[in-house]
């Protein structure tokens, strides 16, 4: 009887440790990629702006222009977008922030 109780206790501890590892991994997966995602989005927007400059001879005036003419989809529910175009021949400043 005590052997069974000890075995049950060991299995419970192992199961709790396993669940803790799984949940911490899920939290890292869902919450830890924010900076990587925003950097990737910034890179996509920069590449689209460069493509616009190569094809049209000027950087796009705003993100709406990129969205309409180059198929960029902006997720405004999840991200803040900062786009400052100083001049049509100078690369705009592009930043993406998670809400």
Total residue count of the chain as it appears in this document: 99
Lowest mean pLDDT among 13-22, 36-45, 46-55, 84-93: 13-22
- The number of C-alpha atoms within 13 Å of 45 and in the hemisphere containing its C-beta is 27
What pTM was estimated for this model as a whole?
Answer: 0.66
- Going from N- to C-terminal start, the domains of the chain cover 1-32, 34-98
22-40 pLDDT tens trace = 666 555 555 556 677 889 9
Angstrom distance (rounded) from CA 77 to CA 89: 31
């Amino acid at each position: 009887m005590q052997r069974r109780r000890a075995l049950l206790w060991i299995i419970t501890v192992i199961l709790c440790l396993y669940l803790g590892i799984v949940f911490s991994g899920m939290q890292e997966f869902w919450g830890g990629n924010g900076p990587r995602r925003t950097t990737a989005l910034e890179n996509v927007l920069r590449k689209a702006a460069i493509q616009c400059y190569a094809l049209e001879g000027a950087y796009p005036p705003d993100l709406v222009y990129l969205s309409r003419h180059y198929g960029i989809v902006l997720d405004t529910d999840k991200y803040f977008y900062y786009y400052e175009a100083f001049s049509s021949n100078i690369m705009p400043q592009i930043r993406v922030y998670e809400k």
